[in-house]
């Protein structure tokens, strides 16, 4: 019997069945029932990645993923119960779906990959797993980049290579110098003005980090404060923007993004006579004029780069401090390491005082002298990052023994690798001695802990938790905050 037979054989509306036609809820339940009858009749295609079960059509697994993403992916890859081998050995987990499975959510079907070897296979096979199409779509739908710009040969063959070159370690000296000057002066001002005062940790970390990051990108005169509120509004709605929700729901964040672009465009107009002084990071976008980029196009591309710089680093900085403050030793291990290299530097330079030169020579140029700080940064990135790296299948391909079809979305869920006990012993624990150290992070933490001392306000009972809605978008944002006391240290 086919689904069509079931529909045709429904008797005329009378009695209990008549209620179905009169009740929207009952009718919806009938439709759901027919949907599942169709699924059972159709059977399971074992050549395809297993599909995670769900009960509500279109919604799929969205609710489960939103409540506890880590738990969802762990449960889909493993089922947690003891299991014994013939020799009596006991294991904690047994696989159910394995490291590749399909998920239905909000009307979209995606294949998730959760193991390091398979993720590596996806990254290496760029002919079968296309990232370019994803980047162009994201640029258009989220960042308002016109297709004639985002998909142009100039963007792909000239701009992107030039941007990568401008961000190579040997080329970022001017950006690092600007960041150092900005964050040094800003943090000194915050520490002096808040000496002994209590306040939310975010207020001590996020605005200074955002300001310094914007100055590093666009120059010390860029009006970062004019973009801050709009940037927050846009970035806070990024999960909904990247999910492809209807535009009428997203009017506020889209308007905020236009406001950010407006500020960047005005800044470029005001500096038209000396654009070359704004640095290579800005210059590579200005060069788009050779391909008939408008001033709006250039400002939009630069705004995207601003988002890329800001969206993760400042929150990684926040989490590093927040996590350490909650550890038994607190910030002491890092303070001891930084005090040690500071004393060594002063002994080698007796006529000098601690200032930007110290942080440049030690933290920027000799990171091997602060191994614990580097390890703490790496551990924060592991512990509080979640990246869904998307590819679109370009040609029929087999992955993990399963067949994937052209046009399908494949998402590499790297966080599951970060939380794999077989890769990181005690993966669910934060441990700065476990281990990409970024210069911005090293400088921020080093300057803050050299001049300031932080402790949790004893009267504060709240602690930040992970904002689950941002799963897959880089460093996860905190939900809530905690009050801390900031004091100026006597050096």
CATH number of the domain where residue 266 is located: 1.10.630.10
Same domain, 272 and 301: yes
Percentage of the chain modeled with pLDDT above 70: 81
Nearest partner of 391 among 203, 119, 158, 208, judged by Cα: 119
pLDDT of residue 89: 55
In angstroms, rounded to a whole number, what is the distance separating the alpha carbons of residues 452 and 265? 37
Q: Between residues 135 and 46, which one has the greater pLDDT?
A: 135
Same domain, 233 and 352: no
pLDDT of residue 32: 55
User: End of a domain among 342, 369, 396?
Assistant: 369
pLDDT of residue 34: 55
pLDDT digits over 64-79, tens only? Answer: 777 776 667 777 665 4
Q: Is residue 468 part of a domain?
A: yes
CA distances from 27 to 80, 191, 223, 225, 374 (A): 38, 63, 57, 54, 59
Q: Is residue 445 part of a domain?
A: no
Q: Between residues 301 and 163, which one has the greater pLDDT?
A: 301
Same domain, 291 and 162: yes
What pLDDT band is residue 288 in, cutting at 50, 70 and 90?
Answer: very high
Q: Is residue 340 part of a domain?
A: yes
Q: What is the CATH number of the domain that holds 97?
A: 3.30.43.20
Q: Is residue 443 part of a domain?
A: no
pLDDT of 208 > 80? The answer is: yes
pLDDT of 437 > 50? The answer is: no
In terms of residues, how long is the chain?
A: 491
pLDDT of 432 > 70? The answer is: no
In angstroms, rounded to a whole number, what is the distance separating the alpha carbons of residues 209 and 316? 10
Counted domains in the chain: 4
Same domain, 308 and 424: no
With b for 16 or more beta-carbon neighbours within 10 A and e for fewer, the 385-417 pattern comes to bbbbbbbbbbeebebbebebeeebbbbbbbbbb
Same domain, 317 and 215: yes
Q: Is residue 45 part of a domain?
A: yes
User: End of a domain among 315, 338, 369?
Assistant: 369
pLDDT digits over 152-191, tens only? Answer: 999 989 998 998 888 887 888 889 999 999 999 999 999 9
| Average pLDDT in the chain | 82
Stretch among 100-104, 271-275, 434-438 having the lowest mean pLDDT: 434-438
Q: Is residue 375 part of a domain?
A: no
Q: Between residues 5 and 463, which one has the greater pLDDT?
A: 463
Same domain, 364 and 417: no
Domain that holds residue 190: 147-326
Q: Is residue 312 part of a domain?
A: yes
What pLDDT band is residue 99 in, cutting at 50, 70 and 90?
Answer: confident
Same domain, 236 and 310: yes
Same domain, 172 and 50: no
pLDDT digits over 220-259, tens only? Answer: 999 999 999 999 999 988 888 887 778 888 899 999 999 9
Contact between residue 73 and residue 413 where contact means Cβ atoms under 8 Å apart: yes
Tokens of 153: 């040969």
Q: Which of 145-154, 295-304, 385-394 has the highest mean pLDDT?
A: 295-304
pTM of the model: 0.77
Q: Is residue 63 part of a domain?
A: yes
Stretch among 129-143, 226-240, 345-359, 467-481 having the lowest mean pLDDT: 467-481
User: End of a domain among 337, 369, 401?
Assistant: 369
What pLDDT band is residue 361 in, cutting at 50, 70 and 90?
Answer: very high
In angstroms, rounded to a whole number, what is the distance separating the alpha carbons of residues 15 and 204? 67
Same domain, 193 and 128: no
Same domain, 74 and 130: yes
What pLDDT band is residue 30 in, cutting at 50, 70 and 90?
Answer: low
Looking from the CA of 320 toward its CB, the CA atoms found within 13 Å total 31
Same domain, 423 and 311: no
Same domain, 285 and 409: no
């Amino acid at each position: 019997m086919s689904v069509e037979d079931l529909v045709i054989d429904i008797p005329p509306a009378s009695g209990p069945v008549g209620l179905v036609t009169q009740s929207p809820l009952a009718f919806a339940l009938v439709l759901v029932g027919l949907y599942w009858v169709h699924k059972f009749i159709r059977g399971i295609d074992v050549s395809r990645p297993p599909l995670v079960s769900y009960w509500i059509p279109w919604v799929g697994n969205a609710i489960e993923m939103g409540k506890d993403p880590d738990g969802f992916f762990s449960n889909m890859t493993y089922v947690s119960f003891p299991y014994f081998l013939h020799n009596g050995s006991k294991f904690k987990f047994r696989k159910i779906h394995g490291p590749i499975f399909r998920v239905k959510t909000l009307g979209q079907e995606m294949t998730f990959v959760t193991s390091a070897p398979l993720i590596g296979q996806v990254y290496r096979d760029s002919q079968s797993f296309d990232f370019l199409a994803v980047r162009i779509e994201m640029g258009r739908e989220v960042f308002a980049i016109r297709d004639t710009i985002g998909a142009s040969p100039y963007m792909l063959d000239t701009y992107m290579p030039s941007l990568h070159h401008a961000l190579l370690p040997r080329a970022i000296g001017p950006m690092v110098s600007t960041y150092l000057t900005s964050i040094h002066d800003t943090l000194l001002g915050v520490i002096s003005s808040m000496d002994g005062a209590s306040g939310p940790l975010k207020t001590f970390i996020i605005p200074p980090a955002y300001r310094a990051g914007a100055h590093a990108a666009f120059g010390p005169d860029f009006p970062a404060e004019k973009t801050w509120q709009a940037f927050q509004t846009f970035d806070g709605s990024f999960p909904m923007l990247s999910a492809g929700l209807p535009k009428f729901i997203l009017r506020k964040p889209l308007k905020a993004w236009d406001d950010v672009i407006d500020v960047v465009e005005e800044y470029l107009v005001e500096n038209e006579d000396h654009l070359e002084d704004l640095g290579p990071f800005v210059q590579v976008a200005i060069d788009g004029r050779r391909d008939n980029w408008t001033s709006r196009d250039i400002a939009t591309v630069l705004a995207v780069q601003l988002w890329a710089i800001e969206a993760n680093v400042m929150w990684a900085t926040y989490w590093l401090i927040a996590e350490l403050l909650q550890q038994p030793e607190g910030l002491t291990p890092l303070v001891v390491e930084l005090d040690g290299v500071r004393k060594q530097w002063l002994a080698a330079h007796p006529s000098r005082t601690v200032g930007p030169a110290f942080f440049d020579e030690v933290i920027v140029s000799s990171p091997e002298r602060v191994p614990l700080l580097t390890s703490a940064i790496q551990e924060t990135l592991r512990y509080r990052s979640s990246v869904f790296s998307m590819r679109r299948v370009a040609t029929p391909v087999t992955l993990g023994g399963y067949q994937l079809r052209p046009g399908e979305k494949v998402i590499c869920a790297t966080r599951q690798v970060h939380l794999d006990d077989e890769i990181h012993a005690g993966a669910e624990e934060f441990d700065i001695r476990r281990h990409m150290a970024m210069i911005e992070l090293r400088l921020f933490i080093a300057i803050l802990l050299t001049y300031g001392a932080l402790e949790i306000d004893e009267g504060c009972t709240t602690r930040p938790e992970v904002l689950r809605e941002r799963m897959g978008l880089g460093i996860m944002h905190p939900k809530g905050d905690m009050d801390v006391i900031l004091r100026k240290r006597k050096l």
